[in-house]
Amino acid sequence: MYLYTQIQFVKRKDHNDVIVYYSKNGEKFRRSTGVRVLSKNITSKGAISTNHPGYEEDLKKIKSLQDRVEDIVISFKDKYGEKPSVEWLEKQFDKPLIDARKDLDYALCYWKEFIAEKEQTTRNPGTIKRYNNLEGTLNKFVEKRNYIVSFDLLDQKFFNDFLAYMVNEHEYVRNHHLTRAEHGLKPEIGLANETAIKRLKDFTEYLKYCLVEHDIKINLEKIKKFIKLARHKQEVRPLSKTQKWELTLTSDEIQFVVNLDHFEPDFWESLSENQKRYLDILIFMCLQGTAPIDTKQIKKSDIRNGKIVKERSKSGNEFKVDLDPIAEQILVRNNFNMDFTDQTVNGELKHIFVTIFELYRKRFDKKHDEHFEILCTQKIRKGEREILKIQHRGLFVELMTGRRSFLTNLGEKADELGIKELMSQAGHTVIGTTLGYIHERQQSKKSKGGLFGIFKIK
């Protein structure tokens, strides 16, 4: 006996099509069995007569299709306590039965479709990489904790466990090319709070896609509540702006790098052409404030009346920045081709700047009455734990150091430029975004006396 489906006959000109019928909320699902029956071979009770040619074979065909539809409906009903919508059933029916069943047991079943949609709408390839990092993190969690992650089990316990795993147990390496045993690179353990929060935000976005595009029964408000409570329980909150430190280059440090061939000719000659190009890219970003993705896309046509006029890839906001003469030379030297691979450049810059800062330190110590701080400390939070990352200043250099340096150096001239001009050159419409890029120096000249530099003459 079938609980949710029926067999119906659809009258045609010279025969009747046999279909499987299902309905919910006035919407109807009809699928042909491929069986055709003459009117004379339909009994008064609506059954197929034994006089129908191929009677046994066609009954098996009808039963097979009805069993399949019934099975999909029952699987959904068992999971969610109600019948599925017709739209959902139609999408599931087009998949092999084993896949339709599996979908209900695996929350990432629509991941490929989600990524395919994002690839059509996302400008930055790094965003796709970030989404796929979520998939990798969740799969490792499932493997390590032997967890079942299905749509109906996304409850408070799941989010508590998943978040605790991310900040305390998840193992990863930043450079996947160095994961082989011969490199001896040990993975880092535990994601920083900011990264874990982004993973949960991306997971929520994926679940919203499943709700909208595949009619999966998910209460997004409950999901957001579970995440909020899990973050509170695990004390997963980002560092405040006053606690967070990221490296910026001072104007004097940039001046040293720009003139490296003059100050340190032997070291300059030891660099490869690729390494010199990577330094060009960073210097350009320090002088123009472009983000990595915008730097890659700079074209000759973006230069108008001595300014770079361009829309930011991330937000679409326009920015106008005076083209620095040195930056212009860099563009010409590289034939207006500033394309690069982020991971490769970041790795090379760290190695190069370890030496650059050692060379710069001698110059700094002669010029100032204090020693150059070659070791820097960066605070990271993983759950409730605070971790101090102490390493050579050069190892903190990355491509985004360029944009942060530009805005920090510009911010120190805010009184002279005005905040509106500062935001315009940054390509921001919200002042808070601009201020988020302006970083406090780890080493800065301290004023004599107090805040206003007032001191007692002896």
Q: Which range of residues forms the domain containing residue 150?
A: 111-234
The pLDDT of residue 441 is above 90:
no
Task: Read off φ and ψ for residue 295, nearest 5 degrees.
Answer: -60, -45
Q: 322 and 351: one domain?
A: yes
Q: 171 and 204: one domain?
A: yes
- pLDDT-based confidence at residue 245 (cuts at 50, 70, 90): confident
User: How many folded domains does the chain comprise?
Assistant: 3
Task: Read off φ and ψ for residue 427, nearest 5 degrees.
Answer: 75, 35
Q: 273 and 229: one domain?
A: no
pLDDT value for 419: 53
- Nearest CA among 352, 351, 348 for reference residue 268: 352
Q: Alpha-carbon dihedral of residues 348, 351, 356, 361, nearest 10 degrees?
A: 150
User: Residue 446 domain-assigned?
Assistant: no
| % of the chain exceeding 90 in pLDDT | 48
> What CATH number does residue 327 fall under?
1.10.443
What is d(CA 107, CA 86) in angstroms, rounded to the nearest whole number? 21
The pLDDT of residue 9 is above 50:
yes
Residue showing tokens 């019948």: 83
Q: 360 and 325: one domain?
A: yes
User: Residue 102 domain-assigned?
Assistant: no
CB distance 310 to 319 below 8 Å: yes
Q: 87 and 136: one domain?
A: no
Q: List, for residues 346-402, the tens digit of each pLDDT value.
A: 999 999 999 999 999 999 998 888 899 999 888 888 888 888 889 999 999 999 999
User: Residue 450 domain-assigned?
Assistant: no
pLDDT value for 96: 64
What is d(CA 290, CA 323) in angstroms, rounded to the nearest whole number? 11
User: Residue 371 domain-assigned?
Assistant: yes
Q: 75 and 161: one domain?
A: no
- pLDDT (mean) for 296-305: 90
Q: 283 and 416: one domain?
A: yes
pLDDT value for 449: 44
User: Residue 86 domain-assigned?
Assistant: yes
Q: 303 and 389: one domain?
A: yes
User: Residue 454 domain-assigned?
Assistant: no
CA dist list (Å): 422 to 294, 328, 399, 401: 18, 21, 21, 18
User: Residue 289 domain-assigned?
Assistant: yes
- pLDDT-based confidence at residue 172 (cuts at 50, 70, 90): confident
User: Residue 244 domain-assigned?
Assistant: no
Q: List, for residues 118-168, the tens digit of each pLDDT value.
A: 999 887 778 899 999 999 999 999 999 888 888 888 999 999 999 999 999
pLDDT value for 312: 77
Give the residue from 68, 96, 124 where a domain finishes. 96
Q: 183 and 137: one domain?
A: yes
Which two three-digit tokens encode residue 270? 């030891």
